[in-house]
Amino acid sequence: MDFHLDTLLNLPDISVFTCYRQEDFTFLDLHFLNPKVKCKYCQYSTDNIHQERPILVRDLSICGQAVYLKISRRQIYCPFCKKYSTESLDFVEQGRNYTKRYENYIYERVKELTVEQVSYHEQLSAEQVKNIFSRIAQRKKKDWSNPERLSLDEFSKEKGKRQFVTVVSDLDRSSLLEVIDSHKSDEIIQVLKAQPQAMRDNVKEVSVDMWGGFQKVVKETFPNALIVIDRFHVMQLVNQALNKIRLLLEFKGLRNRCLLLKNGENLNREEQEELQILLNQSPCLGIAYELKEELRNIYETSTTVKMGFRKLQKWLVYARCLFGQTAETIEKHIQAICHYFINRTTSGVMEGLNTKIKLIIRQSYGFNTFESLREKLLACLF
């Protein structure tokens, strides 16, 4: 019996009988201080042990050394229940080879690192790490707790590939609520309808891009929500149109692109002068640039839906000539675009969250199924 090791081990009613090393591992041979075992059905307790079966349980490392606990699984025969009953242990779940605290530790590690890294450091297989993580993740599942403003967005699974996942986030809490392995409206609807109706009815606004599929999703799953086309997606579309004109007019180079697309008010004096020289070379490019800046101005200065709507319609008269298809798209969605002016709802606040989502997707090569990627995203960002 070693009291110092007992203190270190910190498990109630258990003492370290002996401690030895074998290969890369430290083994702690434990024994129970309480000679009696309770029947798990009726709580009757007896010291008449029917049989003992030794098991090995992985625990937290001590002094950088991987630790296995050697414990006896004690079984009794209960004369009242007329059944055999195996002792239940507080620190390890039935049928598991890891202590609860070790499983929680692995879960936290996977949130920070990749499965491969954790597997390497802990001398566990990738499968073991994934299994532990998934168990704890399942248990920690939380509910959405009545969000009022949501955002629906898509992310590509691999950079440059057109395979998307749909991401649902809570705009007020800047947290991730759900990740769906699809970019088809019917499949998204199916997943979202698993959430309680009352909670979905309570959603007041949903911010989306101009993809028609999302609007269908919102109408069917959040029937009382206002659809708001995200301001940044509209600006992005116009920036793309402006950039196309730049390329058509053969003003090549990254510098030109940067000068044109940057917010006018963020340019320093030198950049402003450079931009002016560029715009002077082509009236067409000049007008396209002014239109882009004017749209940004409309967003900044309109205070009501009506005001925004009026200004946007006026803007469209000129935009149609230069931006063609882009202007048509904006016109088609003008109502939902103008809903922005009610609460100025935008997914812009999600930028930090989106960066983390992308990072985790990129890091998660160890998770080869979508479900494990989803579990990791929700574990880290819910």
How far is the CA of 50 from the CAs of 17, 53, 174, 207, in angstroms? 22, 10, 55, 64
Give the number of residues written for the chain. Answer: 382
Q: Which residues contact 115 (CB under 8 A, 6 or more apart)?
A: 126, 129, 130, 133, 364, 366, 367
Query: Taking the complex as a whole, how short is the minimal distance between the CB of residue 85 and Zn ion, in angstroms?
Result: 6
Taking the least distance from each CB to Zn ion, the nearer of 45 and 163 is: 45
Closest separation in Å from C-beta 15 to Zn ion: 27
Q: Is 35 or 212 the residue whose CB approaches Zn ion more closely?
A: 35
Distance CA 207, CA 343 (A): 11
SS (H, E, C) 227-281: EEECHHHHHHHHHHHHHHHHHHCCCCCHHHHHHHHCCHHHCCHHHHHHHHHHHHC
> Nearest to residue 261, comparing CAs of 292, 300, 295, 230?
292
Residues making contact with Zn ion (CB under 5 A): 39, 41-42, 44, 78, 80-81
Least CB distance to Zn ion at residue 13 (A): 20
Return the H-helix or E-strand segment holding 146. Answer: none
CB of 43 to Zn ion, least distance (A): 7
Question: Whole-number minimum distance, CB 76 to Zn ion, in Å?
Answer: 9
Smallest gap from residue 18 Cβ to Zn ion (A): 33
CA atoms within 13 A on the CB side of 356: 18
Between 85 and 207, CB nearer to Zn ion: 85
Q: Which is nearer to Zn ion, 81 or 321 (CB)?
A: 81
Cα-atom radius of gyration of the chain, to the nearest Å? Answer: 30
Smallest separation (angstroms) from Zn ion to the CB of 49? 15
How many Cα neighbours within 13 Å face the side chain of 29? 7
Nearest CB to Zn ion, comparing residues 41 and 120: 41
Nearer to Zn ion, 78 or 110 (CB): 78
- Determine how β-strand 205-208 pairs with β-strand 226-229: parallel
